[in-house]
Amino acid sequence: MAIFTVTGDVDPFLHVSLSKGEKIYCESDAMVMMEDTLDLTGKMTGGLGSALMRRFANGESFFQQHIEANRGDGDCLLSPILPGTIQVLEVGATCYMLSDGAFVAAESGVDLRVRSQNLGNALFAQSGGFFVGEATGSGKLAVSGFGSGFILDVEPGKDVIIDNSHVVAWDSQLRYEITVPSQQGGGGLFNRLVSSVTSGEGIVLRFSGRGKVVICSRNRNAFSSWVRGGASSNG
């Protein structure tokens, strides 16, 4: 099996060691360096339909980079789009849902697809619009968040509330719903929504059940807005 190692304290690399015959795939432009025993090709992972869904539903690249050790063992360095943490997850008994832009790389045995969410989560949760990524199959999966990263363990009877802009990935068996931070005095949903927005608390996700949630320290949506604003001002 390929060996995934996160190296570096600030904006780390994903170091992948491949034995002859092994292969991985990663997001477009993720490859920074590779040894000459490895081959790099661009492919539509999962076929045309899956590639189109990822492109138009989640804004991911139409083609992904495939790196294969055809002529011997070799190492490569990958870099995520977001400046921040990388977490390596094991897909198999546990499958994971991914927020927009979270995918970095995976072993060839991991199947990355797009799954629809219910209307409420799609409109308010901002974890991927009407669609989110779903990683199934078997193998290692690397995901990225903005800033530092942390993995939370959710247990039955101990729901966890997380600001949606800080959610990177989560166990697909977990139940989640949109809500607003609890407030004394109650009030209707509309009043609580208005209070949440005006206070800057925003919309949160309540996770319940048993499983892991990967979070990041910084607001992904704020970073995306900053990037778009910088691109506009430079253009």
pLDDT of residue 200: 45
**Over 50: is that where the pLDDT of 231 sits?**
no
* Range scoring the smallest mean pLDDT among 55-59, 90-94, 145-149, 211-215: 55-59
* 83 domain residue, yes or no: yes
Do 172 and 134 form a contact (C-beta atoms < 8 A)?
yes
> What is the maximum alpha-carbon separation in the chain?
67
CA–CA dist 136, 62 (Å, integer): 20
In sequence order, the 6+-apart residues with CB closer than 8 A to the CB of 93 are none
Residue 93 pLDDT = 94
Is pLDDT of 182 > 80?
no
Residue 170 lies in a domain: yes
Is residue 129 predicted with pLDDT exceeding 70? no
103 in a structural domain: yes
Domain containing residue 218: 3-227
Average pLDDT, the chain: 79
Given a cut of 60, whether residue 135 has pLDDT beyond it is yes
Q: Does some domain include residue 235? A: no
Residue 179, pLDDT > 50, answer yes
pLDDT of residue 89: 97
pLDDT surpasses 60 at 122 = no
Position 48 scores a pLDDT of: 47
Count: domains in the chain? 1
Domain assignment present for residue 37? The answer is yes
pLDDT band at 226 (very low <50, low <70, confident <90, very high): very low
More confident residue, 132 or 61: 132
Instruction: Quick: pLDDT tens for 19-35.
Output: 999 999 998 889 999 99
In a domain, 233, yes or no: no
Q: How far apart are CA 44 and CA 113, in angstroms?
A: 12
Chain-centroid distance, C-alpha 7: 19
Does residue 47 surpass a pLDDT of 80?
Answer: no
> Is 126 among the domain residues?
yes
Residue 201 has pLDDT above 50, yes or no: yes
- Tell me if 9 is assigned to some domain: yes
DSSP string, 164-205: GGGEEEEETTSEEEEE----TT---HHHHHHHHHHHT---EE
Looking at residue 112, which CATH number applies to its domain? 3.60.160.10
Q: What does the pLDDT read at residue 92?
A: 96
